[in-house]
Amino acid sequence: MSTLRMIARLDVKAPNLIKGVHLEGLRKLGDPSGFAQRYYADGIDEIVYIDAVASLYERNTIVDLVRHTAEDVFIPITAGGGVRSVEGAQILLRAGADKIAINTAATQNPELIRKLAERFGSQCVVLSIEAKRQKDHWEAYCDNGRERTGLDVIEWSRRGEKLGAGEILLTSVDREGTRGGYDIELTRAVADAVGIPVIASGGMGKFEHLSEVVNVGHADAVAMAHVLHFQKMTIPDIRRQALAHGLNVRPV
């Protein structure tokens, strides 16, 4: 059994860390690099930065943030939002990112996944999928949950894997920011459909949500935001509870 990764997700609208509900109604929380440094000191396994408005304005504004964070944070950093080309990805990787998350550009040009994987390796390519339930299936959204793509989430996950994505960051837009728990059915459907790691994102409010999405939802990693940003839970406490419940996490 692989080690369960605990990931801090930081959504950014430069220069601020932000948090909303269903990816909307965003609150400014402060300097994202300061939060990242605190989570690193507390023992988080990875950091994910997502520029929430990059695709909307067709820009990438988190290069300096990644560079600044990488000077003090020595765990894997994933950066996403506004990456539309191999060159754009390379800028972020040179700034200190270990992985690149792509969503909007990939839905518009799926071959970008293959190009990134061929250039940097699949381990660097994270397919970010924002999923919303549509009656009997889930549809992939882009532009931070604002735009429909018409893509079925399960089919898109499989296609992304075939094109070379090394893992999937799966965000339930319906659950995001609600603290009501991850979408277990969605996570399990995607995790069981692909052979690459799936990061569950959106909805954590208490430890039981984490254990359920791992044990029942088959997630390989969990992304957390609200519970960390608002100090509802601490990373050492979450890790201790995970160990006590037999989850394979890195020891405190």
Catalytic site residue from 11, 167, 183, 220: 11
Return d(Cα 134, Cα 151) in angstroms, integer.
Answer: 11
pLDDT in tens, 12-71: 987 888 877 766 657 888 899 999 999 999 999 999 999 987 655 545 568 999 999 999
Q: Which domain holds residue 152?
A: 5-244
Tell me, yes or no, whether 215 lies in a domain: yes
pLDDT in tens, 112-158: 999 999 999 999 999 999 999 999 999 999 987 789 999 999 999 99
Number of structural domains, the chain? 1
Tell me, yes or no, whether 107 lies in a domain: yes
Return d(Cα 100, Cα 124) in angstroms, integer.
Answer: 6
pLDDT for res 178: 87
Scored b (16 or more CB within 10 A) or e, 30-57 reads eebbebbbebbeebbbbbbbbbbbbbbe
Contacts of 132 (CB under 8 A, 6+ apart): 138, 139, 141, 145, 173, 174
Catalytic site residue from 45, 46, 51, 130: 130
Tell me, yes or no, whether 138 lies in a domain: yes
Instruction: Check residue 2 and report its DSSP letter.
Output: P
pLDDT in tens, 187-243: 999 999 999 999 999 999 999 999 999 999 999 999 999 999 999 999 999 999 999
List the structure tokens of 8: 């801090």
Residue 130 is a catalytic residue: yes
Give CA separation, 53 vs 57, 64, 113, in Å. Answer: 6, 16, 21
pTM: 0.95
pLDDT for res 60: 57
Tell me, yes or no, whether 193 lies in a domain: yes
Tell me, yes or no, whether 250 lies in a domain: no
- Is 145 within 8 Å of 23 (Cβ atoms)? yes
Tell me, yes or no, whether 15 lies in a domain: yes
Sign of the CA dihedral 17, 67, 3, 241? Answer: negative
Tell me, yes or no, whether 251 lies in a domain: no
Beta bridge pairs of residue 129: 170
pLDDT for res 146: 82
Q: What is the CATH number of the domain that holds 58?
A: 3.20.20.70
Tell me, yes or no, whether 178 lies in a domain: yes
pLDDT for res 59: 53
pLDDT for res 2: 84
